[in-house]
Structure 1
Amino acid sequence: MNTVPRRIAQTLVNSLKGGVVPRVGLPYVTVGRKEEIEALLRDVDIIAEGGASFRFISGKYGSGKSFLLQTIRNHVLAKNFVVLDADLSPERRLQGTRGQGLATYKELIANMSTKTRPEGGALSLVLDRWINNVQQETAAEAGLAVTDPAVAPLVEKKIAAIMSSLKEMVHGFDFARLLTLYYEAHVTGNDETKARVLKWFRGEYATRTEARRDLGVNIIITDDDWYDYLKLFASFLKQAGYAGMLILIDELVNIFKIPNAVTRQYNYEKILTMYNDTMQGRASHMGIILCATPQALEDPRRGVYSYEALRSRLAEGRFAGEHKDLLSPVIRLQALTQEEMLVLVEKLADIHAQLYGYERRIGQEDLVAFIEIEYGRVGADEHITPREIIRDFIEVLDILYQNPKIKVRELLGSDAFTFAKNAIEEAPTEGQFAEFEL
């Protein structure tokens, strides 16, 4: 195995033991999911060519939904995409009566990421890069230096043409006006106006009066229209030199949990709008991926399928059965095989040994024995998940490292290793929600 940088190895071990998905180092531990990744990356190619895509990823808690999301996120950032991601919660929904939809928009914009700013907060970077690109392209076309005074009016003319293309879209006029204000503030060095424009784009103006006073615009981003601005961002980002925009929304189960049926339906109606826009060509250079548990998706009373217009579009046809259809809007994650889990724990054993600087003691036969113990637990066939196995295995590695006199087989067969002998706990119901998901 290739040497893993110590910082990444530490992040991988700590994150996986804690039951969360690491933001870095995923290629070192990616196992299986090759077909799912390839299917999603085909979507990415379509987005880059000017199309749009919409996908659900459905899987049990701990089955790897969030892991797959982060893997795709890393792939597309490397392809010059902008990624917006958010987890839904009781305070963040797609639609709400108390600003929950706008809260989701704010979270997405706050987490805006690019290849050079993968940790989020890339909005100002994106806008500044756009201006610099326009200036350099215009100067090159005119055969002038960027600092030549003759470039400025040519740049303004090119920006006006870009703004004109955006004005044809819903809310495009005001969006274009704010971009123009940002450009003018950039040229004149007016940091105060730049900060106010960024505040507007982040959805932080509470009233139109405040926005009109600060920026001269009579509109703000609201709970009802925030999604329209994401479509505008997608079109603008292409003009700014990016390949496209990918929106990742996890924890859709928080809509399933909404007790009020009417409120749930409004949220599902927003999903239908997104689905129709991407499928019917009303959005471009934009992809959307939503993650849900099978029950949150398919429950006929409270799930996404309780909204008939979505059920009729998303439900499997008669021929799907046990065969995977990775071209359908819903990707259903199958459990990793025992062979794939064996490959994964071997990777983890190597990373752990590199991190703590010891020669790996746990051999192939020991790894096989560990997997057999995990899958031999009562109920494992139905309920065991990669997250649980990974967490157990890293605990084994930690114990062996700290107690070098203990033999691997003694530990795996000992009464102290009680969690591996017990019947596996049933997966949480939709009313018992895990805090993290791998």
Structure 2
Amino acid sequence: MALDVNGILNALRSGTPPKKHIVSILSGRTDEIKNFKAVLDTTSTGTGMVKFMVGDYGAGKSFLLETFKHIALNDDFVVSEMQLNSGFRFNKIEEFYYAIMHNLALKALPQVTASFDDLFNLWIENLKHVPDNTLKSKEILWVCDALARFNTNYSRAFLSYIRAKIKGDFETIRASSAWLSGEKHIPYAMKQKIDLIGSMDRQNAIDFLKAFVKLITLMDYKGLVILIDEADLILTERSDIRSTALSNLKYLVDLTTTGDLPNTLIVFSGANDLIDNPNFGVLSQPALFQRIQHHIWTISPLSREHLLELTEKTLEIFQKKYVLPSGITPEHVYTKINPSPQVQTREYVTALMTILDQETN
């Protein structure tokens, strides 16, 4: 795939990680990537895990999350990547499930937000290579039976989805897919038609998440990786919302450590306050902190060596589009920026791009 030079440079100008070709400017972070790969290996064996990645604002956490996404996709995991914001505040598990299902990424479709339909269609394409139609039918029924052990509504909706696909019943396809993806507002008549009972609530959401993870492992993916950025926004919420969100964190940690949510890795990323704020952070919840204290990755500023490496890689990409005067070397640019020992990656990158842009004028 051709390098998206404009996309990379525009992302760097704004201090954000590029969505494409992130490895082309990856510098340092060897230990963090090694740790993530080790956790991925453990997740692929059936373990569930929750990790917390914290560091100062601009330290490069979002960049690392994008790198983790790239690694997980290439290692045959399904990935869901999201940010906490005013519309998704982590105080409702059913909204968490909805966010997971509406921010999927697949190795076969790495540059777009995938959907349940995309996942299903890829599975069906693979089934087409099975020469025996009887075996195809048996696999579909076997999958439905396995899903029913988690939630009968999920299994019914999945079977309705398959039957609607065969018949070309687009209304039922949309309704079944919406239900499987966490939509709450399914018309009553349609729910009756596909034999669904109840509504999407906390328990249904957890059952659906367990069933979804089982489904993707049956489709030969290694598991599900959920990456959640800006998790420290929990601390800015009203006290009741914040308390519920922290309780949900504890609930997810317990689900993974007890084996009730296997093949699932959840990484929360945020400022240091997420953990060490004694009034609002994880530290304010002793039971939660006790559970996660050995699952925290602290991100430190890049060293001089790695900032020079980042500068060199950025120069190489920049010069694919722009002509720079002679004598513009990584050392020259680094000296001109003159960063402090504790400079954050975002601050350094935006200063770097400002200098390079000025040099072309």
Q: Smaller-chain TM-score range?
A: over 0.9
What is the rounded CA distance, in whole Å, between the counterparts of 1:22 and 1:364 in structure 2? 21
How far is 1:263 from its partner? 2.5
Q: Is 2:222 aligned against 1:226?
A: no
Cα displacement (A) at 1:223: 5.0
Tell me, what secondary structure is at the counterpart of 1:194?
Answer: helix
Question: Please, which runs of 5 or more residues in structure 1 have no aligned partner?
Answer: 145-150, 316-327, 376-380, 403-438
Q: CA deviation at 1:309?
A: 1.0
Decide which structure has the larger Cα Rg and report it: 1
Counterpart among 179, 188, 204 of residue 209 in structure 1: 188
For residue 281 of structure 1, report the CA deviation from its aligned partner.
Answer: 1.4
Count of residues paired in the alignment: 360
Q: 1:187, 1:209 → 2: CA distance?
A: 23
Tell me, in whole angstroms, the C-alpha distance in 2 between the residues paired with 1:90 and 1:239: 35
From 32, 40, 45, give the equivalent of 2:41: 45
Identity %: 24
**Alignment-mate amino acid for residue 26 of structure 1:** I
| Secondary structure at the counterpart of residue 320 of structure 2 | helix
TM value normalised by structure 2? 0.92
Q: What is the rounded CA distance, in whole Å, between the counterparts of 1:208 and 1:131 in structure 2? A: 28
Are residue 63 (structure 1) and residue 59 (structure 2) matched?
Answer: yes
SS at match of 1:186: helix
Q: Aligned partners of 1:65, 1:339: CA distance in 2, in Å?
A: 19
Q: 2:287 is matched with which residue?
A: 309
Q: 1:203·1:222 contact (CA, 8 Å) conserved in 2?
A: no
**Letter paired with 2:322:** Y
Provide the aligned C-alpha RMSD in A: 2.2
CA–CA distance in structure 2, aligned partners of residues 211 and 310 of structure 1: 41
Name 1:23's counterpart in structure 2: 19
Partner of 2:314: 348
Distance (whole Å) between structure 1 residues aligned to residue 250 and residue 331 of structure 2:
50
Contact 1:200 1:220 in 2 (8 A): no
Give the alignment's TM-score, normalised by structure 1: 0.77
Distance across 2 between alignment mates of 1:112 and 1:360: 45
1:120-135 alignment, distance < 5 Å: 120-134=113-127
- Alignment correspondent of 1:283: 261
Counterpart position of 2:97: 105
Q: Secondary structure at the match of 2:109?
A: coil
Alignment of 1:374 with 2:339, yes or no, is yes
- Report what 1:200 is aligned to: 179
Q: Distance in 2 between matches of 1:242 and 1:129?
A: 12
The answer for the alignment partner of 1:408 in structure 2 is none
Contact 1:58 1:330 in 2 (8 A): yes
- Structure 2: how far apart are the matches of 1:106 and 1:212? 18
Residue 220 of structure 2 is matched in structure 1 by: 241
Q: 1:337 aligns with which of 303, 307, 311?
A: 303
Pick one of 178, 189, 193 that aligns with 2:157: 178
1:349-387 Cα deviation digits (max 9, x unpaired): 22111122556641244134125x222xxxxx45x3110
Residues 21, 223 of structure 1: CA spacing in aligned structure 2 closer, same or farther, 3 A cutoff? farther
2:251 matched residue in structure 1:
273
Quote the offset at 1:36 in angstroms: 0.8
Deviation of the 1:207 alpha carbon? 6.0
Letter of the structure 1 residue corresponding to residue 119 of structure 2: V
SS at match of 2:70: helix
Relative to structure 2, which stretch is displaced further, 69-78 or 204-213? 204-213
Shift of residue 132, structure 1, vs aligned partner: 3.8
Q: Deviations over 1:89-146 (max 9, x none)?
A: 12202224xxxx4444333212111012222123211112223434544x3xxxx4xx
SS of structure 1 residue aligned to 2:86 = coil
1:427 aligned residue = none
**Cα deviations by residue, 1:274-297 (Å, 9 ceiling, x for unpaired):** 111212211122111111211122
1:191 lines up with 2:170 in the alignment: yes
1:398 aligns with 2:345: no
Aligned to 1:429: none
Higher relative contact order (CA 8 A, sep 6+): 2
CA distance 1:394–1:306, shift in 2 (3 Å): same
Q: Is the 8 A contact 1:82 1:112 kept in 2?
A: yes
Task: For residue 158 of structure 1, report the CA deviation from its aligned partner.
Answer: 2.8
The question of whether the paired residues in 1 share the 8 Å contact of 2:48 and 2:256 is answered with yes
CA distance in 1, matches of 2:249, 2:185: 25
Tell me, in whole angstroms, the C-alpha distance in 2 between the residues paired with 1:70 and 1:57: 13
Residues of 2 paired with 1:133 and 1:243: CA distance? Answer: 16
Secondary structure in structure 2 of the residue aligned to 1:356:
coil
